[in-house]
Chain A
């Protein structure tokens, strides 16, 4: 009996941790955890979820367990996978030990799009948005190039250095430098539009909306945590571009 309850708490915490690290909303995480507990015959159990830590307690026991939430980034496939699994558990087509094993598998080996495809995605995202925001068609190919390079640099710095917020700073610094290079050599027209487009894959716009949604839904702690993180990311992008503007501001057209 003891064993089963331990496993239940572990399962709930793992599901919550995966969802929170992949950028899910707070209410969905709490809902999923409570549902898993309910479907395992532990009704009225409580979960308390913040953006940095998850707490889970069963009503029938005196203990509460805590799980730390590490780095948050967006990986929506994991959110979807956990959601499907908890549905399957509710339909009783998987039992608790299998659920736990499958969650562990999701955490480690959810398939991602290959890096080249992601870079291409970022490149086209930059170029298309540059045109949508009103930039000139002449900037299209340079923006494609700069956006891809920026995303690649962010990825590489994140892989190799264990410093938060450094990746976006470097990426936007290089983006600014390349954009200046293109405008100076006459291959592109507008420095500003190219920067706006190329920075878009890095911008934490989603995190800002998510944090406002959390705040308006009453999850004040998580909202503030995510909002602060988003503001720091935005600031590090801004500082990267601002460095270029400070150093070479006089040369800009």
Chain B
């Protein structure tokens, strides 16, 4: 039941962001799927390892792989799939908590949350970069096999 709720809700939220970002209609399903897989991976890794940064890293890596797959399949730029896909992972909650702490006069908690937001953003970008690394490695391997 938890899996079903997590999967479907992240699917629909990614697709809904796709509507706001005006992605082509035939990419809506694929980007929703990308976001759902990414979020489910984040959710279960976070429950298992209790490390937000690591789970974000793995989830972003998977999102990158899926968006490369879909971009090859549908012949569209990769950005169309990973931007809606990353939406559930964006650290909205901690950044809100940081603002709340600053506004209510508790800068220590605020800075702590702010650091957490930065760590999350950097781990997401790191995951995406790993995707490009993996892509280049696979391409090199294919070329090596051919020769």
Contact = CB atoms under 8 A, between A and B. Distances in A.
Interface of A: 23-25, 28, 74-77, 79-80, 83, 87, 110, 112-113, 117-118, 120-122, 124-125, 128-129, 131-133, 151, 192, 195-196, 199-201, 203, 205-206, 208-209, 212-213, 216, 234, 238, 241-242, 245-246, 249
A192 B97 CA distance: 8
A209 B102 contact: no
Contacts of B92: 129, 133, 196, 199-200, 203, 205
A209 B124 contact: yes
A122 B16 CA distance: 7
Contacts of B80: 76, 79-80
Contacts of A209: 86, 90, 121, 124-125, 128
Nearest to A135: B93
B90 A203 contact: yes
Contacts of B20: 74, 118, 121-122, 125, 151, 201
A246 B10 contact: no
A24 B24 CA distance: 15
Interface of B: 5-6, 9-10, 12-13, 16-24, 27, 39, 75-77, 79-80, 83, 86-88, 90-93, 95-97, 99-100, 102-104, 121-122, 124-125, 128-129
Contacts of B12: 124, 128
24 contacts: A25-B79, A75-B21, A75-B22, A76-B22, A76-B83, A79-B77, A83-B76, A110-B22, A112-B22, A121-B19, A124-B13, A125-B20, A128-B9, A128-B16, A131-B9, A132-B6, A200-B92, A205-B92, A206-B83, A213-B125, A242-B100, A245-B100, A249-B103, A249-B104
- Dominant SS among interface residues on chain A: helix
A132 B9 contact: yes
B129 A216 contact: yes
